[in-house]
């Protein structure tokens, strides 16, 4: 998504404290426009008139999503039945690292990162760790 844009906020004069807070925190010069009451009333009515249509469209979209999900699940079940023998013939998944190995790798990476942040050479620590590993 883009990183630029505009924000429009409609406030009435009774929210003056909020307006001042927005101006203070924006850090930029804000433009102020006064919109006539008739225009606001006109658009409020137009939006209210569309509310029923909007609700229908949202309901249709929700139903479409539910239908797509059901179709996808049906296709998946169909594929599971159709290709059951192939699926069961596949070898079980195996991890190339045990949980213990993974934790050791993470700890070593974290230690190296912290050492670099401190400016300490990690070669000495690596050599010491290798010596400890050889003794085991």
**Cα separations (Å) of 68 from 17, 56, 81, 114?**
48, 18, 20, 48
Mean pLDDT of 24-51: 88
pLDDT given at position 119: 62
Which one is predicted more confidently, 94 or 39? Answer: 39
- Quote the CA–CA distance of 29 and 17 in Å, as a whole number: 17
- Residue 120's contacts (CB-CB under 8 Å, 6 or more residues apart) are none
pTM of this structure: 0.42
Q: Phi first, then psi: give them for residue 15, nearest 5 degrees.
A: -100, 35
Q: Report domain extents, the chain.
A: 13-89, 99-135
């Amino acid at each position: 998504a883009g990183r630029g844009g505009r924000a429009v906020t409609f406030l009435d004069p009774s929210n003056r404290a909020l307006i001042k807070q927005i101006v203070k925190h924006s850090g930029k010069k804000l433009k102020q426009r006064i919109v006539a009451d008739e225009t606001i009333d006109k658009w409020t009515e137009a939006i209210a008139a569309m509310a029923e249509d909007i609700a229908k469209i949202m309901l249709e979209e929700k139903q479409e999503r539910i239908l797509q999900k059901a179709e996808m699940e049906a296709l998946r079940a169909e594929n599971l039945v159709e290709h059951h023998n192939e699926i069961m013939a596949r070898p079980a998944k195996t991890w190339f690292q045990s949980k213990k190995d993974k934790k050791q790798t993470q700890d070593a990476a974290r230690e190296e990162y912290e050492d670099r942040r401190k400016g300490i050479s990690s070669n000495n620590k690596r050599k010491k760790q290798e010596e400890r590993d050889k003794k085991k």
